[in-house]
Amino acid sequence: MMIFSCPVFADMASLTNYVNSINSQNGGNGLSYTYQYSAGVEFRVTVGAGQTLDLSAYDSKTRGTNTFQSFCAESNAGVYTNTASYGKLSLRGNYSYNSSNKALSVGAAYLYKMFAVGDLTNYNYATGSNATAFRTSLWAAMGSTTVSNWANDAFLSQLLAINSDQNFWLGAYDVSQYYSFIGDYTVLIMDCWTTTGYNTQDVFYLVNGSGGSTSTPEPTTLAMWFLGTGLLPLSYRVRKNLWPNRNIRHGA
């Protein structure tokens, strides 16, 4: 069962409840999924049948039926495509970490959010021809690799246009804070491993709603969602026009 309503998290308690509901599936192993490269290093995460995950934040260019597009969130893990895997959303305190214990940065959170909602300037959504360049920018924003001059990078330069302090973007992304340039979204890392126990690439994930208490969401309706572990109260807003479930590209 997939959730396509749009949660608007008014506080950390609601966000934590959502994360816990996802991670409690499959006997506490989280989501079951596989992933496949679809365009260079951009890959398609396919959620297992019967799994619960909200994909409503994604644009039709970055979402399909039970799938979402993502990138590696760490630079030193194995790659196991088309392999049964588990993934748990990382939320420790106010921060999200990859399996290498590196916190999601403000810069990487913003860049992935822009990619996921289909608004990343300079990215070739049609072919993914510059996916490798974008992944390098994501890793640089995480502090996992170095790009000598951010001002000359097609993606990192977009960060500097908002805030010219490079160290700001390298700082840890605090999900309890509201960032105006990210808006009513939350970015998390999903820690991943194969069902046989091998560490595999973690992925970035975007969900509607902010854990930041200063967020001012649209008028909401209180709903009770059954998420497999009980009834969890989460507020949500109803979109007038839901994105259609269209197939996204399956090859480079």
Q: List, for residues 218-228, the tens digit of each pLDDT value.
A: 333 223 333 33
H helix runs in the chain, sequence order: 12-23, 25-28, 106-116, 131-142, 156-162, 166-170
**How far is Cα 131 from Cα 209, in angstroms, rounded to an integer?**
27
Q: Is the pLDDT of residue 62 over 80?
A: yes
With residue 235 as reference, give the H or E element that holds it.
Answer: strand 231-237
Q: Check if the beta carbon of residue 58 is closer than 8 Å to that of residue 206.
A: yes
pLDDT tens digit string along 63-101?
999 999 999 998 777 778 889 999 999 999 999 999 999
Predicted TM-score of the model (pTM): 0.82
Those residues whose C-beta lies under 8 Å from the C-beta of residue 116, and which sit 6 or more positions away, are 57, 58, 59, 62, 68, 69, 204, 206
Q: Check if the beta carbon of residue 16 is closer than 8 Å to that of residue 91.
A: yes
State the chain's mean pLDDT as an integer.
83
pLDDT of residue 250: 32
Which of the two residues, 214 and 201, has the higher pLDDT score?
201
pLDDT tens digit string along 37-60?
888 899 999 999 888 899 999 999
pLDDT of residue 252: 29
Question: Which amino acid, residue 74?
Answer: E
